[in-house]
Amino acid sequence: MVLLLNQQRAVWLPLRTIRHQMERLLVCGGYADWDIGVHFVDNARIRQLNLQYRNRDKPTDILSFPFHTTKTPEADLPQMPSEDERNLGDMFLAMPYILQQCKDENDRVAAHLPVLLAHGMCHLMGYDHESDADYEAMRKREFEILNKFYSRF
């Protein structure tokens, strides 16, 4: 199940479309029957979370909080999870920050959201980008998911 919580007012969001996109991304990533939470927040909330959990006192576009802790990406996620364990986690997207990014890059929020959602989903699967090798592995997995998403969408 995809749980969407819109806790901001800066950007109007087509929640039905986003829910459908997130469901498709889960299918493309191999997690069709898994739960995920997607929270749309303002810059103040993302800054608070970034400070609290990453010790960085600034807003960012997205933060992900996995339900499962893994030593290596995806390998430690339950293979035959019970219904309670089929939860990738929660991601928080700062819509004012993302809107400004899109304006700066001459991009549309609607076009940028699936990329951010795939990125956040990869974090929930255990990927990170702390080193160059980690970055490449995560980027490869994001591309795999997005290629399936766009070829089927």
Q: Per-residue confidence of the chain (153 residues) as pLDDT tens digits?
A: 999 999 999 899 999 999 999 999 999 999 998 999 999 999 999 999 999 999 999 999 999 999 987 767 776 666 666 777 789 999 999 999 999 999 999 999 999 999 999 999 999 999 988 888 889 999 999 999 999 999 965
What's 70's domain CATH number?
A: 3.40.390.30
This prediction's pTM: 0.90
Give the total number of structural domains in the chain: 1
pLDDT at 6: 97
Provide the CB-side half-sphere exposure for 20 (13 A, CA): 9
Which pLDDT does position 68 carry in this prediction?
83
Which two three-digit tokens encode residue 104?
Answer: 């700066």
Residue 44: which domain range?
Answer: 2-152
